[in-house]
Every structure is written in structure tokens, then in C-alpha cells.
Structure 1
């Protein structure tokens, strides 16, 4: 199997730029619907429930206007990620008291394989998100192509 990279995981169908959601719930629902439409979920409501269960355990706002919400869920039919770039900052519990403009929503199964993939994805994305150039490019991304290019920085 080919090595998993951030850009190999990003599906252009599940990248939304210029999102106009005004709150966390709208943004998560919009991104979950995108995952569902692209065939990653078999139960959108169940998936959203699982994401909120995870949110209760601790903030997924990692600072620098980035949030990485995720839920390990039986509602996931294949592992994927939805990325949303918002036009305006929205409120989110974060470690640096800023809001969020970039949401990276992971869809992973709740089985052992899903758990392993989930950790692999988190570490791949975290490594990239530790770089200012990647963040700056994401904050100004206009298209799925721009998002992929940002992660190639």
C-alpha cells in the first residue's frame, strides 16, 4: 500500500472553502454532510453525535485558528477527512482563546483499525500544522487545490 500522506488523504470533494457558517454546529453539520455526500458516512446524525461526544472530552481547538474535531464512529464507512475554510472566525473552545477559521474533521471507524488510522492521520496533520507557512496558506485558501498545496508547504 502506498504511504499515507496528508495530500493523499485529502479528497477535493470534501474540502469546502469560503464557508459562511456562523457557529460550530453549523460548520460541523455542513462538513459532515459533505463527508456523507462523498460516501464516507453511512449515518450522518450518528456521526455528528459521536463527534460531539468527543468534543465533551476536551477542546479540539488547537490554536492558530485551527480545530481538529473528530469522532471514532460506527457511522463511518471509510476513513476520510473534511476540511473547511471559513470566511470569518467562529467561536470554538481553543487553547489560545482565538476562534477558529480552519476545521479539519476526521472520519474514522470505531474499530481497532480505525483507532490506528486515526492516530496516524492526527500525527500527519499535526506535523504539517506545526508550520506557520502551512497555516498562513490554509487561512487564505480559495479552493481544494489551494488547500492541498498548503499542506505541501
Structure 2
């Protein structure tokens, strides 16, 4: 599974309003629900918090990669959000976050390999400081997808 197979403009929001971790997770989850990727926002958010309790999802560089591994997932994707303000988040560099990649994956064991492959591909991309800066300055969801899927 490749990033271009799971990214979609309809679940990229470059104007997130939430000011807390909980508000951000709910806002992105609502986009997933509204576009048919999950069947229950509250259960999905509960499942995100189960994963959050296992370890830090702030990757540094003002980026967080929370995971929603849940039985309410209907289709694998990654919701992407950016805010014009920083949000407190547990992070490896102890910095707040304003760019969020919410993994939306089924808790079915058969999907674990795809999840890990997607995570590795995304991690490779966001490890590049120049690419992170491009993502911070992207003007449209289409531009975000282009940045993340180029070779």
C-alpha cells in the first residue's frame, strides 16, 4: 500500500480550529466520519487514546502522528490537519505541534502490515526538514498530497 492510495483531499484540513489535543483529534475524526472512513467518532477517538497511552506520538518538528486503530474503520487512510497555532502534545523534542497525521486503520490483524508500511513511508518523508517546511507552507490539500507522494 502506497501513500497515494490512502491520501485524499477531502480529509485534509489546513485550518484546524482546535486548541487542545482532544479538540484536534475530534475535529480530524469528524472529517473521517463525514467522508465515510469511520462509522463512529466517539469510539474512534477512544481507540486513539488507547494508542496514545502506549507512548509518545509527537514526532518532533511540530508534527504528531496519532493512530486510530479501530473496529469502526471502514477504509484505511491518513487524515491530515494543520493549525495556525501550536497545540500542546507529548513530543520527542518537547515542542508543541501544529501538523497532524491521524492514521485511520482497521484493528483487523490483516491490516497491520499495511499500517506499518504506511507509517515507515510517512516517517521517511517527515524526517526531511525541507519537506516539513513545504508541508507547513502548503496552501491546498492537493499541494500536501503532491509533497507527500513525490519521489
> For this structure pair, what is the TM-score category when the shorter chain's length is used for normalisation?
over 0.9
- Structure 1: runs of 5+ lacking an equivalent: none
CA distance in 2 between counterparts of 1:7 and 1:86 reads: 23
1:37 aligned onto 2:34: yes
Number of aligned residue pairs: give it: 150
- Structure 2: runs of 5+ lacking an equivalent: none
CA distance in 1 between counterparts of 2:86 and 2:143 reads: 19
Q: CA RMSD in A?
A: 1.2
TM-superposed CA distance for 1:134, in Å, is 1.3
Could you tell me whether the CA contact under 8 Å between 1:63 and 1:98 is conserved in 2? Answer: yes
CA distance in 1 between counterparts of 2:3 and 2:127 reads: 13
Among 82, 100, 113, the residue aligned to 1:116 = 113
Which aligned runs of 4 or more in structure 1 are off by greater than 3 angstroms?
none
1:145 aligned onto 2:142: yes
**TM-score where L is the length of structure 2:** 0.94
TM-superposed CA distance for 1:89, in Å, is 1.0
1:7 aligned onto 2:8: no
